[in-house]
C-alpha cells in the first residue's frame, strides 16, 4: 500500500487555426510555438526518463483540434517552413551577438533548440508527433485522455443536449481512430462541469474527469475526503478533484514558481526590442512586430532593467522548485493521511503549454519532479491506475464550476462574447433539424451534412470567447466564430433550396478538414 | 434606496446617507468591478496562462472577410427566449420576437409593452429526470419578479435573488395597462443558479471531514454566504466588463 499518490495531468490543446489559403498565417504560429517549445521538448523529457529507467507517470489530454492539426500533412509542411525560418533567425542572431559572453550562448541555445526540434520532427518521428505520444501511451508511461471536439465550454450549452453530445461523441470517436483505444478519461475544457454532464460522459463510456476544488467542495453531499479522493457522480463517472495547493504553486502569476526572478522573461523578445529593419525578413508579410521566441532576459523583478538570462541558474532553480513542490505535496499528504481511510491522492492538472512555452524552464521542472518523485514517498500515478486500486468512492454531485476567473462561467459569458451563443445554439438547433430531415443521406448530400457538422462544432470553441474577453486577437477571434456560423448558414440555405455549390464546399472541406470520420447523424435529437 | 444601501453594505461599502441614487449604483458597480479584478488576480491564473498561448498575435492585416452573403444574421425572426446561468448571481437571457408577433402587438392599442417574468422554481434539487417530472402546479406559488424591457432590447444580464435554485424566464406582453392581461410569448429553459455555499451543514460532517475540507483549501475559496435577496436584479447587458480593460 502506498502512503500517498500524486497525479500530474496535462491538457495539450490548440484551437483549429489552419488557414492554407494564406502563404503564412500568423495564428498558425500558436501551434508551431507550442510544438517547438512544449510538445517536442516534452517528448525529449520522456525519452530521457525512459533512457534512465525512471518510472514516470502522466495523464495527458490531447484535444481533438490539436490532434487534427498535428496529424495534418499540410500543417506539417508549414511547420517545417516555420522551423527553417527560426533557424535562419538563429543564425542571424549568432552573427549579431557573436562574441558577447552573455548573449551569444543564448542565441546558440535557441538555434540548437530549433535544430533539435527539426531533427526530432523530421527524422526521429517522421513528422508523426501523435505517434510519438502513442509510443509512451502503449508502454503505459502516459495515459492519454481526450477532450471536447472543439474545446466547447459545456455549461453554457447544458440545455442543448445535442451540442454537448456532439462535442463528446466526436472527441471519443476521433481519439479511438487516432490511438486505437477508448479513452478512459475526458478532460472537460476549462474544467467546465455542470450537474448532468457526468451522465452524458458516462453514456459514452468515459470513466473519469477532473473538476476544480471549488466545484467538488460545493457538491452535494459535501465530499467527506475533501480534495484527497475522487467522488463518484450518480451516473457512476469518477470525478477527480484538483489540488488547490499544487495549483497555486505553479499557476500563480505573481507568486508561483514561474515568477521567480531567475527564470526567463516571456515578454522581453527581440521581436519587440530590435530595429524593425533587422527583423523585417523574419517577420510575417505584414511587417508587424511579433514574438519571435528569442528572449534573452530574466524575469529579474518588476523593473525594466532586466538581467541577462542565465540558463544554468534557471535550470538549478527548476530542480529546486521541483524539490519544493514534492516536499509541499508530501507534507500535505502527511497531514491528510492521518484523517483518511486510504492514501490521499493529489491531482495536479495544468495546461501543457504552461511548460516550455510560457514557463520556459517548466519542462526541466517536470523532468526533475519525475526523477525526484522516484525517491520520495509519493507514488506518481495516472488517474486510470488509481481507479483500479480504488474503484469505489463517495457518491457526490459536483456543482457547476470552471477554473476560470470567479470559478463559474463569467470568462466565457460576458459583454464581449455573449453574442456567440444566440448563433451557435441556433446552428446546433438547425443542424439537428437537418439531421432529422435527412437521416439517411449518402454521396454529395452526406458530404454537405458532415461539413455542416464540422462548422457547427467549430462555432462552439471556447478559446475565441476567452480571447474576446481578454481583448487579445479579438478581431481574429470574432471571425473564427462568425465564419463557421456563416458557413453553416450557407449550407443550411443550400439544403433548404436544394442548390449546392460544390466548388465552395470542396474548398471548405479542404480547409476545415478536421474529424474525417464525422457523422452528421449524431445531431439527431436524443430520444 | 434602502435596498441599494443594503446592497452597498453587503459589498463592503460604507456610504454616508443622502447620496444620489445614481451615485450609489456607480459605487456598487465600481466595487463589483474591483472585486472582479481581485478575483482575477487571485483565482483566474489558469485562464491567464491560456491567454499566453495566444499572446502578441493579431490577424488585423489578413483579409478574413467571410465574403458576400455570409454576414451573420442579427436575429432569426422567431419568438423565443433562452437563459444561461453564468454564476450564482447572474443569468444571461436573450430573446427575439418575430416580426409577425411584433406587428400584432403594435396593432393592439391596449398593448403595454414587453417584460420578463423571472420565476423561481425552487431548489436546484432534484436534478435530471426527476426534475423533468415535476408537476407544474407545484411551481405556481413560487416567487417571481418582473423586468420591463424595450421592444428593441434582445438580451439582459439578470441578477438572480438567490443561488442554488432553479429559475425560468418568461417573455411576456402586457395588455391594457399595468394591471392588464399578460400573454406569455415565450418560455425559457430552466436555469440553475449554482450553489455558493457548502451543501452539507458543518455539524453533519465529522471532525475529520471538516479538517480535510480545511486542508483542501475550503477557506481560500471565497464561498460567499447566502444573501436574503438582492435588489439589483437587473443590469444592462455588458455591465462590469473586465474584458474592456487592458491586461
From B25, B176, B36, B207, select the one nearest B109 (Cα to Cα).
B176
What whole-number distance in Å separates Cα of residue A156 and Cα of residue A359? 31
Question: Could you tell me if A378 and A503 lie in one domain?
Answer: no
CA distance linking residue A154 with residue A507, whole number of Å:
30
How many angstroms separate the CA atoms of A80 and A60, rounded?
25
Look at residue A327 in the predicted model and tell me its pLDDT. 95
What angle separates helix A244-251 from helix B45-52, to the nearest 10 degrees?
A: 40
SS (H, E, C) chain B: CHHHHHHHHHCCCCCCCCCCHHHHHHHHHHHHHHHHHHHHHHHCHHHHHHHHCCCCCCCCCCCCCCCCCCCCCCCCCCCEEEEEECCCCEEEEEEECCHHHHHHHHHCCCEEEEEEEEEEEEECCCCCHHHHCCCHHHHCCCCEEEEEECCCCCEEEEECCCCCEEEEEEEEEEECCCCCEEEEEEECCCEECCCCCCCCCHHHCCHHHHHHHHHHCHHHCCCCCCCCCCCCCEEECCCCCHHHCCC
Selected residue with higher pLDDT from A454 and B4: A454
The CATH code belonging to domain B80-196+229-236 is 2.60.40.10
Q: Between the CA of residue A467 and those of A24, A85, A125, what are the distances in Å?
A: 21, 27, 33
DSSP A223: P
For strand A378-380 and strand A58-62, is the pairing parallel, antiparallel, or unpaired? unpaired
**pLDDT score of B68 more than 50:** no
Last residue of a domain, one of A377, A406, A435: A406
Q: What is the mean pLDDT of residues A113-128?
A: 98
Buried b / exposed e along B149-184 (16+ C-beta atoms within 10 A): beeeebbbbbbbbbbbbbbbbbbbbbeeeeeeebee
Distance CA A527, CA A236 (A): 21
Q: B239: pLDDT confidence band, cut at 50, 70 and 90? A: very low
In a domain, A345, yes or no: yes
B57 close to A (CB below 8 A) = yes
Please tell me whether the overall predicted TM-score, pTM, comes out greater than 0.90 for this model: no
A441 and A383 in one domain? no
pLDDT in tens, A233-288: 999 999 999 999 888 888 777 788 999 999 999 989 999 999 988 888 777 666 67
A154 and A238 together in one domain? yes
CB B205 within 8 A of CB A222: yes
Q: Cα–Cα distances in Å, from A211 out to A14, A188, A242? A: 20, 8, 6
Non-local (6+) Cβ contacts of A458 within 8 A are A16, A150, A480, A484, A512
CATH number at residue A391: 3.20.110.10
pLDDT at B30: 66
The most confident of the ranges A141-155, A298-312, A483-497, B168-182 is A141-155
Residue pair A27/A367 in contact by the 8 Å Cβ criterion: no
With respect to residue A341, please indicate whether it lies within any of the assigned structural domains.
yes
Hey, of A16, A203, A225, A226, which one would you mutate to test binding to chain B, going by the most B CBs within 10 A of its CB? A226
Compute the nearest-CA separation of A499 from chain B (Å): 15
Q: What is the pLDDT of residue B49?
A: 56
Q: Which domain holds residue A340?
A: 4-70+143-264+317-406
Beta-bridged to residue A359, according to DSSP, are A355
CA distances from A126 to A71, A79, A112, B152 (A): 11, 13, 19, 58
Residue A234 lies in a domain: yes
Question: Within this chain, do residues A346 and A418 fall inside the same structural domain, yes or no?
Answer: no
ipTM for the complex? 0.93
Q: A259 and A176 share a domain? A: yes
Examine the domain organization and report whether A402 and A418 are in the same domain.
Answer: no
pLDDT of B235 > 50? The answer is no
Residue predicted with more confidence, A375 or B138: A375
Which position has the higher pLDDT, A386 or B71? A386
Which uninterrupted H or E stretch holds A373? Answer: helix A362-373
pLDDT band at A61 (very low <50, low <70, confident <90, very high): very high
- Residue A352 carries which DSSP code? G
CA distance A174 to A146: 9
How many Å separate Cα A328 from the centre of its chain?
26
**Would the CA dihedral through A328, A334, A339, A342 be positive or negative?**
positive
Q: What nine digits make up the cell of A401? A: 464550476
Total tally of structural domains belonging to chain A: 2
User: Which residue has 465552395 as its cell numbers?
Assistant: A504
Q: Are A370 and A400 found together in one domain?
A: yes
Instruction: Answer yes or no: do A395 and A462 share one domain.
Output: no
Q: What is the distance between the alpha carbons of residues A61 and A58, in angstroms, rounded to a whole number?
A: 10
- B86·A423 Cβ contact <8 A: no
Distance CA B73, CA A485 (A): 10
* Set of chain A residues whose Cβ sits within 8 Å of the Cβ of B94: 418, 421-422
**A81 in any annotated domain:** no
Residues A392 and A434 in one domain: no
Interface test with A, best of B243, B244, B245, B247 (most A CBs within 10 A): B243
User: Within a domain: residue A432?
Assistant: yes
Q: Does the beta carbon of B213 lie under 8 angstroms from any beta carbon of chain A?
A: yes
The CATH number assigned to the domain holding A418 equals 1.20.1430.10
Please answer whether residues A380 and A67 qualify as being in contact, where contact means their C-beta atoms are separated by less than 8 angstroms. no
C-alpha cell at position A174: 476521433
Q: pLDDT tens digit string along A203-248?
A: 999 999 999 999 999 999 999 999 999 999 999 999 999 999 888 8
Omega of the bond leading into B126 within 30 degrees of 0 (cis): yes
Pick from A26, A245, A251: which is nearest to B217 by CB? A245
- CB pair distance less than 8 Å for B92 and A241: no
**C-alpha cell read off for A127:** 513528422
Q: Are residues A424 and A475 in the same domain?
A: yes
Same domain, A355 and A503: no
Q: Which residue, of A381, A406, A431, is where some domain finishes?
A: A406
Last residue of a domain, one of A406, A439, A464: A406
Q: Which residues on A lie below 8 Å from B50 (Cβ)? A: 190, 351, 463, 466
Are A164 and A197 contained in the same domain?
Answer: yes
Q: Collapsing DSSP states into helix, strand and coil, what is residue A411?
A: coil
Cross-chain CB nearest to A473 (options B49, B59, B221): B59
pLDDT number for residue B104: 87
- Report whether pLDDT(B6) > 70: no
Q: Where are chain B's structural domains? A: 2-48, 80-196+229-236
Amino acid at each position: 500500500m502506498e502512503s500517498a499518490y500524486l497525479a500530474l495531468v496535462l491538457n495539450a490543446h490548440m484551437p483549429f487555426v489552419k488557414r492554407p489559403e494564406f502563404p503564412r498565417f500568423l495564428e498558425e504560429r500558436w501551434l508551431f510555438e507550442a510544438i517547438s517549445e512544449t510538445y517536442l521538448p516534452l517528448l525529449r523529457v520522456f525519452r530521457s526518463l525512459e533512457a534512465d529507467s525512471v518510472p514516470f507517470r502522466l495523464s495527458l489530454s490531447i484535444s481533438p483540434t490539436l490532434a487534427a492539426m498535428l496529424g495534418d500533412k499540410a500543417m506539417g509542411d508549414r511547420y517545417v517552413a516555420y522551423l527553417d525560418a527560426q533557424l535562419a533567425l538563429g543564425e542571424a542572431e549568432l552573427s549579431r551577438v557573436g562574441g558577447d559572453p552573455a548573449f551569444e550562448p543564448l542565441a546558440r541555445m535557441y538555434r540548437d533548440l530549433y535544430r533539435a526540434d527539426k531533427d526530432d520532427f523530421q527524422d526521429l518521428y517522421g513528422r508523426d508527433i501523435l505517434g510519438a505520444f502513442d509510443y509512451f501511451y502503449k508502454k503505459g508511461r502516459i495515459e492519454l485522455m481526450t477532450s471536447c471536439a472543439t474545446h466547447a465550454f459545456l455549461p453554457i450549452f447544458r440545455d442543448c443536449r445535442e451540442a454537448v453530445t456532439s462535442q463528446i461523441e466526436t472527441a471519443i470517436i476521433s481519439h479511438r481512430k487516432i490511438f486505437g483505444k477508448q479513452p478512459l478519461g475526458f478532460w472537460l475544457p476549462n474544467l467546465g462541469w455542470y450537474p448532468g454532464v457526468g451522465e452524458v460522459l458516462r453514456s459514452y463510456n468515459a470513466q473519469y474527469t477532473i473538476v476544480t476544488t471549488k466545484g467538488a467542495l460545493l457538491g452535494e453531499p459535501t465530499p467527506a475526503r475533501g480534495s484527497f479522493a475522487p467522488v463518484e457522480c450518480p451516473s457512476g463517472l469518477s470525478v477527480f478533484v484538483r489540488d488547490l495547493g499544487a495549483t497555486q504553486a505553479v499557476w500563480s502569476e505573481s507568486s508561483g514558481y514561474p515568477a521567480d526572478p531567475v527564470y526567463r522573461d516571456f515578454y522581453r523578445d527581440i521581436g519587440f526590442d530590435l530595429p524593425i529593419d533587422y527583423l523585417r525578413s523574419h517577420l510575417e508579410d505584414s511587417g508587424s512586430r511579433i514574438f519571435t521566441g528569442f528572449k534573452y532576459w530574466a524575469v529579474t523583478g518588476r523593473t525594466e532593467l532586466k538581467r541577462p538570462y542565465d540558463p544554468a541558474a534557471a535550470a538549478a532553480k527548476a530542480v529546486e522548485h521541483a524539490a519544493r513542490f514534492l516536499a509541499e505535496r508530501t507534507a500535505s499528504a502527511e497531514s491528510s493521511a492521518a484523517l483518511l481511510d486510504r492514501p490521499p491522492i493529489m491531482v495536479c492538472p495544468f495546461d501543457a503549454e504552461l511548460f516550455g512555452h510560457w514557463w520556459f524552464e517548466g519542462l526541466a521542472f517536470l523532468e526533475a519532479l519525475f526523477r525526484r518523485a522516484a525517491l520520495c514517498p509519493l507514488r506518481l500515478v495516472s488517474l486510470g491506475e488509481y481507479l483500479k486500486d480504488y474503484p469505489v468512492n463517495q457518491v457526490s454531485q459536483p456543482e457547476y464550476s470552471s477554473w476560470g476567473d470567479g470559478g463559474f462561467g463569467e470568462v466565457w459569458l460576458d459583454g464581449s462574447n455573449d453574442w456567440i451563443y444566440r448563433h451557435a445554439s441556433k446552428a446546433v438547433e438547425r443542424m439537428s433539424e437537418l439531421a432529422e430531415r435527412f437521416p439517411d443521406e449518402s454521396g454529395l448530400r452526406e458530404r454537405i451534412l458532415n461539413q455542416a457538422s464540422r462548422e457547427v462544432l467549430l462555432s462552439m470553441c471556447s478559446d475565441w470567447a476567452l480571447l474576446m474577453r481578454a481583448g487579445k486577437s479579438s478581431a481574429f477571434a470574432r471571425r473564427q466564430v462568425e465564419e463557421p456560423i456563416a458557413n453553416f448558414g450557407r449550407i443550411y440555405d443550400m439544403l433548404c433550396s436544394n442548390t449546392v455549390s460544390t466548388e465552395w464546399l470542396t474548398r471548405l472541406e479542404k480547409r476545415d478538414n478536421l474529424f474525417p470520420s464525422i457523422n452528421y447523424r449524431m445531431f439527431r435529437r436524443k430520444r | 434606496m434602502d435596498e441599494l444601501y443594503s446592497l452597498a453594505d453587503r459589498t463592503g461599502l460604507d456610504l454616508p446617507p443622502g447620496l444620489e441614487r445614481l451615485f450609489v449604483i456607480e459605487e456598487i458597480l465600481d466595487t463589483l468591478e474591483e472585486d472582479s479584478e481581485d478575483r482575477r488576480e487571485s483565482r483566474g491564473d489558469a485562464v491567464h496562462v491560456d491567454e499566453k498561448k495566444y499572446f502578441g498575435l493579431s490577424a488585423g492585416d489578413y483579409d478574413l472577410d467571410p465574403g458576400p452573403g455570409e454576414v451573420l444574421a442579427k436575429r432569426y425572426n422567431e419568438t423565443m427566449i433562452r437563459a444561461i446561468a453564468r454564476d450564482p448571481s447572474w443569468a444571461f437571457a436573450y430573446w427575439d420576437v418575430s416580426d409577425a408577433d411584433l406587428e400584432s402587438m403594435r396593432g393592439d392599442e391596449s398593448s403595454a409593452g414587453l417584460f420578463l417574468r423571472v420565476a423561481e422554481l425552487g431548489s436546484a434539487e432534484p436534478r435530471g429526470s426527476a426534475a423533468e417530472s415535476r408537476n407544474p402546479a407545484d411551481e405556481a406559488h413560487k416567487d417571481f419578479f418582473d423586468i420591463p424591457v424595450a421592444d428593441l432590447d434582445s438580451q439582459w444580464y439578470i441578477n438572480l435573488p438567490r443561488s442554488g435554485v432553479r429559475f425560468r424566464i418568461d417573455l411576456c406582453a402586457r395588455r391594457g395597462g399595468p394591471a392588464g392581461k399578460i400573454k406569455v410569448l415565450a418560455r425559457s429553459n430552466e436555469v440553475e443558479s449554482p450553489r455558493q455555499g457548502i451543501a452539507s451543514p458543518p455539524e453533519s460532517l465529522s471532525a475529520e471531514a471538516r479538517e480535510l475540507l480545511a486542508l483542501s483549501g475550503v477557506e481560500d475559496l471565497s464561498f460567499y454566504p447566502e444573501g436574503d435577496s438582492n435588489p439589483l436584479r437587473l443590469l444592462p447587458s455588458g455591465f462590469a466588463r473586465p474584458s474592456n480593460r487592458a491586461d
